[in-house]
Structure 1
Amino acid sequence: MDSLAAAHSLLVDRLESDYRARTEDPEDPSTVQAMQLAINLPRDAPPTREEVLRDAAVAVVKLCLDPRAGEDGFWRDGLDRWYSHRIRKVARRARNKAWADVQALPGVTHGCVRAFVPSAVSEVPKPISKLQVKGTDVPPSAPSPDDATLPTLYINADLHMSAGKAAAQAGHGSMLLAAAMTVESVREWEGRGYLVNIREVAAAELARHAAAHGAVVVRDAGYTEVAPGSQTVVAVPAPATARPGA
């Protein structure tokens, strides 16, 4: 099995396991695992909200399917522990030297977002932990034209999520979509750089997309900003990339 197939197999096997078995104990910090995301938000010419959400989605799935995730070692171990607990992501604001400093830590950068190999929240490296969680909002902009050959992530605009929260949810959507795809379809997506379309839509429209063939629905645990069980994202594969019967 090649590295991509092994990384995909790990993702599928762990995420298809009984979710109730993925627990965490606040008294045991090692069980509270999270993937940290750093968003580069310079004061001059910051990225648009759409760019932040797209870059987060791509960075997360690239990290999960990185060849190192298919080989024994630190990268795979970090993902394995994270997949085996609650799937948390924490988005933080970075700029200037702070953004440059975190590039040396294990992870994947796409555009304005760097996703880091998950760890226990008590073991987050200092260059990341000192980044602020608040202040991740960026101005909206006119949506870019869709590319019909790419998957689309529909974000629930009615929840009024901050850009950081929505970025984390977009990351959930891209990795869950990858887990729902065949490894052959993932290879095709890899060839497109794991790019996605991003659309923020009303909840009613989100529900319609949830009925699409192969659609994956993200429901939030409710730790921050939104109520437990809220549908935050619907990820819809590009044509002919869903698993048979999905």
Structure 2
Amino acid sequence: MDELHERDPGELVQPIILRIDKEDPSTEDEGLSAVSRAAIIAYLQDPQNPDWQQWASQAFAKSVRRANPKMFAKVLEMFPDQMVSEVGKAQAVGLPPLPAASLPKLIAKLQVSGTELPKSGEVLNATVNIAVNDSLKMSTGKAAAQCAHALFAWLTESDGQGIEAWLKDHAPVGIRHLSREDFDALSQRASGPVIQDAGRTEIEPGSTTAFVFIQQN
């Protein structure tokens, strides 16, 4: 959920649009899962796009923006080929990497900061889960970007074990909010990189925010 004005204008960023329905909102965890899945769905739709390689060689920059139902529909009209990620009531769509300084006007005017969704007492569980460092008290938008970082890094940097079966099962993603102590302990079982934030918004540079772990049956 990084502020684009702090970026190099030539840097590529992956916009991810999260539908926020104030009348009937999804839970926060549904939003985090939907955004994470949207990031990789966009990549898997066109992995040969050279912009992905350039983007991945930089800082994995993502910009999670919120849209009301009407604006979300307009985004889908503008990018009709992009698949929507749905988890419960949450919907999100990821776009290919775009230059930070020249996002389409429709995307650029969508808000980045202040995205919040209601928390739920129910645990969103799956074989592939993302651990979130709850001690950082990240906003929904910030946490969503970190979860998307973690899932993308796991998909592209891990040894690939279990990924094919997971994709065939429609790529369900669970979310676990952990205390700092539990987060650090479980990170020893991380299946992909433990994400460290650049510190551009909300939290201190180098803060460990999220990672993927596999829930054994």
Normalising by structure 2, we get a TM-score of 0.87
Structure whose CA Rg is larger: 1
Structure 1 partner of 2:106: 127
Q: CA deviation at 1:80?
A: 2.0
Q: Which runs of 5+ in 2 are unaligned?
A: 1-5
Structure 2 residue 71 is the aligned partner of structure 1 residue 91: no
**Quick one: higher RCO (CA 8 Å, sep 6+), 1 or 2?**
2
Which of 166, 170, 191 is the aligned partner of 1:193?
Answer: 170
CA-to-partner distance for each residue in 1:47-72, whole Å, 9 max, x for gaps? 11000001011111222222x213xx
Q: CA deviation at 1:213?
A: 5.8
Query: Which amino acid in structure 1 is aligned with residue 55 of structure 2?
Result: W
Q: Please say if residues 189 and 213 of structure 2, whose CA atoms lie closer than 8 Å, have aligned partners that are also in contact.
A: yes
How many residue pairs are counted as aligned between the two chains? 206
Structure 2 residue 187 is the aligned partner of structure 1 residue 218: no
Query: Which amino acid in structure 2 is aligned with residue 101 of structure 1?
Result: K
Q: Please say if residues 50 and 143 of structure 1, whose CA atoms lie closer than 8 Å, have aligned partners that are also in contact.
A: no
Residues in 2 aligned to 1:139 and 1:145: alpha-carbon distance in whole angstroms: 14
Which of 18, 28, 33 is the aligned partner of 2:12?
Answer: 33
Q: Please say if residues 60 and 115 of structure 1, whose CA atoms lie closer than 8 Å, have aligned partners that are also in contact.
A: yes
Query: Which amino acid in structure 2 is aligned with residue 78 of structure 1?
Result: D
Residues in 2 aligned to 1:54 and 1:29: alpha-carbon distance in whole angstroms: 29
Q: CA deviation at 1:239?
A: 4.4
- Structure 1 residue ranges, 4+ long, deviating more than 4 angstroms after superposition: none
Structure 1 partner of 2:33: 54
Q: CA deviation at 1:108?
A: 3.5
Residues in 2 aligned to 1:228 and 1:160: alpha-carbon distance in whole angstroms: 15
Q: CA deviation at 1:109?
A: 1.8
Q: Please say if residues 13 and 60 of structure 2, whose CA atoms lie closer than 8 Å, have aligned partners that are also in contact.
A: yes
Structure 2 residue 145 is the aligned partner of structure 1 residue 168: yes
Structure 1 partner of 2:120: 141
Normalising by structure 1, we get a TM-score of 0.77
Structure 2 partner of 1:204: 181
The CA RMSD measured in Å over matched residues stands at 2.0
Q: Please say if residues 216 and 236 of structure 1, whose CA atoms lie closer than 8 Å, have aligned partners that are also in contact.
A: no
Residues in 2 aligned to 1:175 and 1:200: alpha-carbon distance in whole angstroms: 19
Q: CA 1:125/1:161 → structure 2, altered by over 3 Å: closer, same or farther?
A: same
Q: Which runs of 5+ in 1 are unaligned?
A: 1-25, 71-75, 241-246
Q: How does 1:105-116 map to 2 (within 5 A)?
A: 105=79, 107-111=82-86, 112-116=91-95
